[in-house]
């Protein structure tokens, strides 16, 4: 058995773990990194990267068949589903070297391609190695949740971990789950010429602002995607190429392929947390505001910590760990400034409080500034006018922003900056945006907040009349 002593042991080479390892080793720490599956984790191999690549394929096909409004003749695209998956693989391969064993070893990280298992509060076994570390970071991420629906174990199905390997084009894809993953993949496949039915037990995009979700769902249905809500899957039956999903209310949906997209579960089964005195929470590993577990030498970050499940959150957590575990400086997690986006067309993005959350928390102190995409000249030129932006404001400071529309995932960045730094609406109003850009929507939303104060205020009108009489 090979014994290793290290300053920092990172278990899991997803986005969070890689960021911790790279930052710590470049600051002079001795770092050991464990990964028993694929470097880059879920995001690179099965999540963010491949899904956005397939969405790009769908967008290209959709553009060919819907060009008439731009003065270009519509054509029927010739979709090669296997070639679209080649595109996905090529995108992964282009990004992969940045997350590779070779790169991290070149930085000075000791990389061990084995799963890690705690054998004591300070020791982890990985293959033939026993590693003793001053500090340990668990960043093992999450996996697709496969619920115990009767019959599912006898029917072939896909998850996000297998979907991108599928080469045979489905004729009719059934998707159980109407959240971001389910709907992104629904639209990508529909645009590639595949019939799609989404089966959602509650409400599609149920965690988002209902007004914003409605903008997205209306467009998805308009593209021919069947979205069935309040449809809790009760039984699944059939075989490859002929699958049926029966819901609790007796509805039956038939398709050729099935994708399960109902949520995620933390990757903790292999860790033997009990040996390290690490407690679990309902959603993952129990951590405090500094991402420290009940074992004070061990931290947990990203999906496995049971909070917001986004790649950029894991990256944010990595920064906290660099401060806490590497530099010994205090740092606590905050979530009010964390944005997220769903990459449908139109996109859906959120940071901070939704309108309903803000009303519940702030009551009559809340003001909501609204601005619609159909008043933005660039959106009009691009024929992308469906959507709106809402900014929740309390005493002049934004506490949340919701955007549904073209490039919402880009537009939300500004509001994330504003909320993270506790800036006022005046900071956005003072910004000069180039014309014509979609980014002007943010400034116009700020203008919508100030307009009543300027144009509907009798005192302002009296002052202006006085100044006009006496101005030389």
- What are the pLDDT digits (tens) for 162-177? 999 999 999 999 999 9
pLDDT, residue 465, reads 80
Has residue 7 got a pLDDT over 90? yes
Please, where in the chain does CATH 3.30.390.30 lie? 339-455
140 carries a ligand binding annotation: yes
pLDDT tens for 307-350 read 999 999 999 999 999 999 999 999 999 999 999 999 999 999 99
303 carries a ligand binding annotation: yes
74 carries a ligand binding annotation: no
pLDDT, residue 216, reads 98
469 pLDDT band (50/70/90 cuts)?
confident
Mean pLDDT of the chain, nearest integer: 96
Which CATH code for domain 152-260?
Answer: 3.50.50.60
Q: Using an 8 Å Cβ cutoff, are 96 and 44 in contact?
A: yes
pTM over 0.85: yes
Has residue 466 got a pLDDT over 90? no
Which residues 6+ apart lie within 8 Å of 391 measured at CB? Answer: 368, 369, 370, 398, 400, 401, 415, 425, 445, 446, 449
171 carries a ligand binding annotation: no
225 pLDDT band (50/70/90 cuts)?
very high
Please, where in the chain does CATH 3.50.50.60 lie? 2-39+100-144+265-326, 152-260
Q: Using an 8 Å Cβ cutoff, are 92 and 44 in contact?
A: yes
116 carries a ligand binding annotation: yes
142 carries a ligand binding annotation: yes
Query: What number of CA atoms fall less than 13 Å from residue 251's CA on the CB side?
Result: 14
Which residues 6+ apart lie within 8 Å of 361 measured at CB? Answer: 353, 399
pLDDT tens for 128-187 read 999 999 999 999 999 999 999 999 999 999 999 999 999 999 999 999 999 999 999 999
52 carries a ligand binding annotation: yes
Which stretches of 248-308 are assigned E, i.e. beta strand? 252-255, 257-260, 264-266, 298-300
pLDDT, residue 467, reads 83
Residue with tokens 């934004």: 398
Average pLDDT of the segment spanning 265-279: 97
177 carries a ligand binding annotation: yes
- Per CATH, which fold does 2-39+100-144+265-326 belong to? FAD/NAD(P)-binding domain (3.50.50)
Give dist(CA 20, CA 33) in Å, integer: 10
Has residue 369 got a pLDDT over 80? yes
Pick the closest to residue 315 from 8, 71, 43 (CA basis). Answer: 43
- The single-letter DSSP state of residue 163 is G
218 carries a ligand binding annotation: no
384 pLDDT band (50/70/90 cuts)?
very high
Average pLDDT of the segment spanning 59-88: 98
Q: Does domain 339-455 have CATH number 3.30.70.3270?
A: no
Has residue 470 got a pLDDT over 90? no
Give dist(CA 62, CA 77) in Å, integer: 8
């Amino acid at each position: 058995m090979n014994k290793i002593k290290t300053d920092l042991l990172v278990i899991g080479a997803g986005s969070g773990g890689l960021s911790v390892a790279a930052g710590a080793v470049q600051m002079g720490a001795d770092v050991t990194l464990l990964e028993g599956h694929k470097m880059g984790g879920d995001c690179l191999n099965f999540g963010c990267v491949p899904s956005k690549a397939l969405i790009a394929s769908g967008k290209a096909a959709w553009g060919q068949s819907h060009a008439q409004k731009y003065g270009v003749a519509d054509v029927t695209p010739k979709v090669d589903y296997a070639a679209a998956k080649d595109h996905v693989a090529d995108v992964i391969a282009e990004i992969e070297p940045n997350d590779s064993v070779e790169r991290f070893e070149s930085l000075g990280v000791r990389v061990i391609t084995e799963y890690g298992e705690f054998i004591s509060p300070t020791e982890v076994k990985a293959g033939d190695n026993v590693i003793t570390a001053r500090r340990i970071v668990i960043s093992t991420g999450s996996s697709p949740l496969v619920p115990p629906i009767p019959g599912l174990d006898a029917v072939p199905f896909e998850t996000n971990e297998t979907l991108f390997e599928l080469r045979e084009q489905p004729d009719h894809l059934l998707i159980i789950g109407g959240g971001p993953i389910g709907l992104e993949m629904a639209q990508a496949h529909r645009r590639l010429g595949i019939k799609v039915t989404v089966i959602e037990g509650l409400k599609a995009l149920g965690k988002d602002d209902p007004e914003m979700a409605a903008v997205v769902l209306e467009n998805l249905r308009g593209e021919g995607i069947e979205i069935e809500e309040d449809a809790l899957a009760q039984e699944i039956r059939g075989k490859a190429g002929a699958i049926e999903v029966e819901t609790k209310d007796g509805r039956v949906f038939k398709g050729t392929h099935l994708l399960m997209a109902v949520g995620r579960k933390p990757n903790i089964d292999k860790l033997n947390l009990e040996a390290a005195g690490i407690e679990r929470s309902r959603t993952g590993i129990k951590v405090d505001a500094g991402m420290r577990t009940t074992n004070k030498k061990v931290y947990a970050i990203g999906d496995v910590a049971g909070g917001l499940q986004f790649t950029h959150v894991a990256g944010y957590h990595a920064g906290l760990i660099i401060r806490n575990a590497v530099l010994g400086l205090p740092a606590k997690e905050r979530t009010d400034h964390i944005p997220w986006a769903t990459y449908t067309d139109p996109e859906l993005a959120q940071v901070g409080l939704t309108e309903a959350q803000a009303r519940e928390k702030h009551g009559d102190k809340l003001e909501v500034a609204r601005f619609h995409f159909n008043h933005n000249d660039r959106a009009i030129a691009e024929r992308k006018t469906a959507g709106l932006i809402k900014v929740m404001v309390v005493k002049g400071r934004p506490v949340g922003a919701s955007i549904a529309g073209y490039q919402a995932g880009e537009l939300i960045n500004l509001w994330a900056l504003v909320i993270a730094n506790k800036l006022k609406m005046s900071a956005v109003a003072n910004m000069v945006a180039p014309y014509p850009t979609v980014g002007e929507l943010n400034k116009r939303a700020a203008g919508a907040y100030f307009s009543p104060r300027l144009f509907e205020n009798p005192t302002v009108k009296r002052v202006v009349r006085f100044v006009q009489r006496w101005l030389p």
